Chains A and B, each alone.
Chain A
């Protein structure tokens, strides 16, 4: 597609429920990032994929968070046993370049707003 697509746009989960957030990057983009943006804050890095390989997951806040990109295109961020502190906007971004692309900006999706009640 023309841009990075994320679904759902909004998700309300009861505390303890599992959720799955989907990201469709721009076709052919090698790099894919997930960021978490809490209310009133800047986005914070969660994890990075180069094609299907998860090269950095240092930003995942706990072992309840899991991300995958099995075929190197669509990615899913899964949060198990959601907690109220998980409430945030989850942003996905993709880039055409791979590991050498340090100086490049990315295309961000519109995000999924997760509210845990």
Chain B
């Protein structure tokens, strides 16, 4: 079965430090990959997505992610974290056994804490 793994449940960084959140997907064919952010009590906001082409994808709020097929990874990065980035981050894959409507499979999420 299709799965998305986020190995880090909780990450703490200092404001201004760099950030990398890990994500591994299981589906072997061309995956459609997403990163979402969820602030407390809020819905999910799309940060960026990868379909094909350039493996380095730029998103909103200064985030980027790199697709590495050889490692089945789609890690999220930010060079300098701001206190407002504290939230929970979800990696998701859209494939669902070939259905074309786009059912998402989510990882368990990584909680980001930012220290001043």
**B residues engaging A (CB < 8 A)?**
4, 32, 34, 36, 41-46, 49, 51, 90, 92, 94-96, 99-109
Contacts and interface: CB of A to CB of B under 8 A. Distances in A.
A98 interface: yes
B101 A98 contact: yes
Interface string A30-73: 01010100001111110010100001100000000000000000
B108 A56 contact: no
A102 B92 CA distance: 13
A45 B104 contact: yes
Contacts of A91: 43-44
A16 interface: no
A35 B26 CA distance: 21
A100 B109 CA distance: 27
Interface of A: 4, 31, 33, 35, 40-45, 48, 50, 55-56, 91, 93, 95, 98-106, 108-111
Given A42-B108, A103-B32, A103-B94, A33 B103 contact: yes
Contacts of B95: 102
Given A91-B44, A108-B43, A42 B90 contact: yes
A23 to B, nearest CB: 11
Nearest to B6: A42
Contacts of B51: 103
B49 A105 contact: yes
A4 B45 CA distance: 12
Given A33-B103, A104-B102, 15 more contacts: A4-B43, A31-B101, A41-B109, A42-B4, A42-B109, A43-B44, A45-B103, A48-B101, A91-B43, A99-B101, A100-B100, A103-B102, A106-B46, A108-B43, A110-B42
A21 B41 CA distance: 17
Contacts of A56: 99, 101, 103
Contacts of B46: 105-106
Contacts of A45: 96, 103-105
